Chains A and B, each alone.
Chain A
Amino acid sequence: MTAPIIALDGVCRDFTRHADYAERLANAVLRRAGPSRVRAVDSVSLTVAPGEVLGIVGESGCGKSTLARMIAGILKPTAGTIRVAGTDLATAPERERRAASLAVQMVFQDPTASLNPRARVIDLVGEAPVAHGMVAPREKERFVCDLLARVGLDPSARSLFVHQFSGGQRARIAIARALAVNPKILVCDESTAALDVSIQAQIINLFMQLRADMGLTYVFVSHDLGVVEHISDRIAVMYLGRVVELAETEAMFAEPKHPYTRALLEEVPRLEPVKRRFSAVRGEMPSPLAPPPGCHFHPRCPIAVERCSTERPALRPVGDGRLAACHFA
């Protein structure tokens, strides 16, 4: 087996949250100390092989973005280690750390928010590689034109501003910008979520084309299971900060092992010419401020027993190289 290009070991991230007005009021009235710490990511260990696409799925607030930002080096873990291409981002010497952090680039959901509205495309895309000495200033224009063509944009649009592009074109600009520093890994956080279906298909095809051409590794975060299923080699399912199942895509869709994965896959709207009866996992997503003890999923789990509410199930091998965190998987 080749050495993993990304390796996470026991990674945690806590946030201290400031209670909003209503919460403070409730806390005061009920004389309780407001819980204020959220464990957004809870002891995640996983690896990604070079050239692999790892999908991360789960519902709102489960910690996908927090995990993605830590892998991209934008956010520090509060515990555990993250190694990218063999380098521990927290302890490596400055030069090594710089190189490693260029090797992993992030593509966000909303390009309008992550791209400076007053900069022209040529600068948005060309600035970083020039600043890092990867491209000579006089080469910048040609470099940017090549890159724009590569992501399917007309190079003659290089002097325009972001607001002059459609949603799909903006997504392409964000991708060109990430590719400009010649990364090995792209971390995509809901990069197609804001796009229409017909445009989303164009961008997913671009991601797959770039992977084939440049041997990129992807961490692909999305709440859209159809998209993740299509693009990923393996998938990690998260629930309230924890990875509850990790398996190869086909195996997971064929036979989900964790009750939460099962529920999630069942409820994905499918394009089928038959009316269906929507049923659903019972209950709501618990507050991340006070997650249920034991297995976080137990209040909603159809097969939960006594033990589930006290004992945390470890993410453990359940055969065929798969992992699941359930006492009964």
Chain B
Amino acid sequence: MSGAPALEVTDLSIAFQSRHGLLTAVHGVSFSVGRGEVLGLVGESGSGKSVTGLAVMGLLDAAGRITSGSVRLLGTELVGLSERQLRKRRGRDISMIFQDPSTTLNPVLRVDTQIIEALTAHERLSQKAARARAVSALEAVGIPSPAERLTAYPHQFSGGMRQRLAIAIALLHRPAVLIADEPTTALDVTIQAQVLSEVQKLAADQGTGLVWISHDLSVVSGLADRVAVMYAGRIVETGSVADILTDPAHPYTSGLIASVPSRNRRGSPLAQIRGAMPSLAAVPPGCPFHPRCDFASGICARAMPEPLAFADRIVRCHHPLAAAARAETLSA
């Protein structure tokens, strides 16, 4: 299928078996990523970002499962595939990188062994050709003197270099989709900028669709084309970076943007959202944001708002803020 987006997630719900019974961590999440496009998936701790990424990869742990919805990779459904079938796809058509690169890297194997293993898992290659590919993969992520570095072990690399190694391995087969779960969060600012610049360049050159997961709206705003904002397991707003930053439609998005220090006059009190994110076992009824929302009305505590589409954006709120969204609710 040629017109299909690289990744299309529709109405995905994910639940975990727990002491409190089956707890739903992600509710009906939908998004899509085109080739060469960057989608930022933003939200605070516990909002369900990592779980969403893991479910797309088919990597949920034993307690978790997809309870409904669909994940289509280049038009092919992944939900319901066997582990064997998924393994053929993983690393070749879709890859993931994590905050901690040691999730991907094996500490007791030399770097060349790991890269060549990853290469030959999906391709038939001579040792010589594989080595050459490994060298150019390290070169592409900006690792200096790649041929010599190949014979080193992961612990001989700095944190930033280890993360680049993980990225190099994830991109070996030029996957259609790369899911990046906070890979620069633990890095220093200057090293983060180096890694971001490599990923940005590679994804654009290879036409990889990138899902960039982060709690930091500032990182995402410089990198992404579109943003999806998550709160308590739901995407509450999706749109272009420019639309969302200049004219947020959901009160939570607006609160998040306003609480970033650089958006406030130096020394003045920061705009803040009162209260805290609810835990999975105690999600409020209706709109889960209503106890913290300045715009809440009676209906917010009773009914979950349905997604409202307008001007290439989607928002889930009974009283959306953006001017364009308001026009839409009035005409409906």
Query: Which residues from B are CB-within-8-Å of A204?
Result: 261, 270
Residues of A184-201 contacting chain B, CB below 8 A: 196-201
- B241 lies within 8 A of chain A by Cβ: yes
Give the dominant DSSP class at A's interface: helix
Q: A277 in the interface, Cβ–Cβ < 8 Å? A: yes
Distance of A144 Cα from B169 Cα, bound (Å): 54
CA separation between A230 and B277, bound complex, in Å? 24
Question: Count the A-B residue pairs with Cβ separation under 8 angstroms: how many?
Answer: 140
Q: How far is the CA of A269 from the CA of B216 in the complex (A)?
A: 9
Contacting A at CB under 8 A, from B207-237, are 215-219, 221-225
Q: Say which residue of A59, A168, A249, A271 sits within 8 Å of B190 (CB atoms).
A: A59
- Does B88 touch A at the CB level, under 8 Å? no
Is A202 close to B, CB under 8 A?
yes
Contact of A280 among B194, B259, B260 (CB under 8 A): B194
Q: Contacts A204-B270, A208-B269, A275-B225 known; A197 to B217 CB distance under 8 Å?
A: yes
Which A residues from 234 to 288 make CB contacts under 8 A with B?
A: 249-250, 263-264, 267-281, 284-285
Asked if A27 is at the interface of the complex by the 8 Å CB criterion, the answer is no
Decide: B218 and A270 in contact? CB cutoff 8 A. yes
Known pairs A204-B261, A271-B263, A273-B241; A60 contacts B197 (CB<8 A): no
* Interface membership of A2, Cβ < 8 A: no
Residue from the list B155, B221, B272 in contact with A202, Cβ < 8 A: B272
Contacts of A1 in B (CB 8 A): none
B256 contact set on A, CB distance < 8 A: 197-198
A interface size (C-beta, 8 A)? 46
A227 contacts chain B at the CB level, 8 A cutoff? yes
Given contacts A60-B188, A199-B276, are A269 and B161 in contact (CB under 8 A)?
Answer: no
Contact B222 A270 (CB under 8 A): yes
Interface of B, secondary structure class, is helix
Nearest chain-A residue to B199 (Cβ)? A278
Residues of chain A lying within 8 A (CB to CB) of residue B257 = 271
Q: Is B125 an interface residue (CB 8 A)?
A: no
Chain B residues whose CB sits within 8 angstroms of the CB of A277 once the complex forms: 197, 200
B276 pairs with A166, CB closer than 8 A: yes
User: Which A-chain residue is minimally distant from B271 (CB atoms)?
Assistant: A201
- Does B262 have its Cβ within 8 Å of any Cβ on chain A? yes
A272 touches B245 (CB 8 A): yes
| B264 neighbours in A (Cβ, 8 Å) | 230
- 22 A-B residue pairs with Cβ-Cβ distance under 8 Å, sorted by A, are A59-B191, A60-B188, A166-B276, A168-B276, A201-B259, A201-B270, A201-B272, A209-B269, A223-B188, A230-B261, A230-B262, A230-B264, A264-B189, A271-B262, A272-B221, A273-B221, A273-B244, A275-B223, A275-B241, A278-B194, A279-B193, A281-B190
**Which are the 4 A-B pairs with shortest beta-carbon distances?**
A201-B259, A230-B261, A278-B197, A269-B218
Which residue numbers of B lie inside 8 Å of A, CB to CB?
44-45, 155-156, 158, 160-161, 188-194, 196-197, 200, 215-219, 221-225, 241-242, 244-246, 255-257, 259-264, 266-267, 269-274, 276-277
Residues of A within 8 A of B (CB): 22, 59-60, 166-169, 196-202, 204-205, 208-209, 223, 225-227, 229-231, 249-250, 263-264, 267-281, 284-285
